[in-house]
Amino acid sequence: MRVAAVQLDARLGAVDDNLAACERLVAAACAEGAEVVALPEFFTTGIGFVPELAEAALPPDGAATVFLAETARRHGIHLGGSFLCDDPDGECRNAYLLAGPDGRILGRHDKDLPTMWENAFYIGGDDSGVIDTGAGWAAGAVVCWEFMRTQTVHRLCGEVDLVVGGSGWWSVPGNWYPGALMRQQEAGNAANARRAVAEFAGLVGAPVVHGAHCGSLSCRVAFAPLPYRGHFEGGASVVAADGSTLAYRDHTSGPGHVIAEVTIGSQPPIAVPPKGFWLRDRGAVAAFAWHADGAAGRRWYRKHRRAKEPTHVAQ
């Protein structure tokens, strides 16, 4: 099967602009024969600690879902990506939807744990992430730092024939001191962004198609009035079931896509995941941000969601 991964340079919160960019990028991949296309997470909004993103969340049947369904049907492909989903219960989730060639939404996966400042915008889910395509193969949806956790391996290993996913993986701040420490931590972070996806395929025993974000990011952090300046790590990629990278796009290459042919199907994994919670060492700065930004983000979410009435009422 010929699969493609999109790399997007999103405008924060600009849903219409980002959907238009995704439409162009998907069309370019389909012109090269893509049968499955993976968009990044937050393909409608991008991601950063920008409070206005909370207002850019979409209903389950809104513009993001319509885009996935109509674009998949128009090109006759499977198309997946995640967005901030404002659910009827009043909560927001990071929902990954996979649409089929007939325009049907085949399934949904809610990212299990928000990463760092993402906690300000949504809560986690607890589904398996396994999506039956109805075409004789099962997809496994994986979103960003889910590629870093052993629990993701355990829920998908032996259950899926192709992993579809995406990330919005940002860099260690480039404007914090001491500079030497930040550069050292960023080297490890960039390596994690690339290796986590590639090694995940071998742990699960299925090929991976992974969309990504690129471009610069300026915002603030959630836990303090500190400016953040950095970039997205990029890394749109296609990986074979044995963990070998078939196609990869570095963040410096900008927006675009990668495409390769994979053999879909569940295979015996080539490695065993570690026993701990994390598959990889996050690094000191990322570990600190996981706790500090996470706690501050959860407080921000509770405060702002409590004041907000559900806007999309289930029929």
Residues 186, 242 contacting (CB under 8 angstroms): no
Mean of pLDDT values over 34-63: 98
The pLDDT value given to residue 309? 58
What are the tens digits of pLDDT across the range 119-135?
A: 999 999 999 999 999 99
Q: For the domain with range 2-306, which CATH number is right: 3.40.630.30, 1.10.287.3240, 3.60.110.10, 3.40.50.261? A: 3.60.110.10
* Radius of gyration of the CA atoms of the chain, in A: 18
The pLDDT value given to residue 53? 96
Residues 149, 276 contacting (CB under 8 angstroms): no
Band the pLDDT of 100: cuts 50, 70, 90.
Answer: very high
Which residue in the block uniquely carries the two structure tokens 């790399």?
Answer: 7
Of 313 and 160, the structure prediction assigns the larger pLDDT to 160
Which residue in the block uniquely carries the two structure tokens 């701990």?
Answer: 276
Mean of pLDDT values over 136-145: 98
What are the tens digits of pLDDT across the range 189-243?
A: 999 999 999 999 999 999 999 999 999 999 999 999 999 999 999 999 999 999 9
The pLDDT value given to residue 153? 98
Mean of pLDDT values over 175-185: 97
The pLDDT value given to residue 238? 98
Three-state DSSP class for residue 19? helix
Band the pLDDT of 305: cuts 50, 70, 90.
Answer: confident
Q: Which residues contact 266 (CB under 8 A, 6 or more apart)?
A: 158, 159, 160, 161, 205, 206
Band the pLDDT of 14: cuts 50, 70, 90.
Answer: very high
Q: Which residues contact 259 (CB under 8 A, 6 or more apart)?
A: 2, 3, 4, 5, 29, 32, 33, 34, 238, 247
Percent of residues, the chain, with pLDDT higher than 90: 97
Whether 311 shows a pLDDT value over 60: the answer reads no
What residue segments make up the domains of the chain, in order of their start? 2-306
Whether 310 shows a pLDDT value over 60: the answer reads no
The pLDDT value given to residue 307? 61
Band the pLDDT of 313: cuts 50, 70, 90.
Answer: very low
The pLDDT value given to residue 312? 46
Mean of pLDDT values over 288-301: 98
Whether 253 shows a pLDDT value over 90: the answer reads yes
Neighbours of 87 (CB within 10 A): 18
Whether 38 shows a pLDDT value over 70: the answer reads yes
Mean of pLDDT values over 255-265: 98
- pTM (predicted TM-score): 0.96
Mean pLDDT of the chain: 96
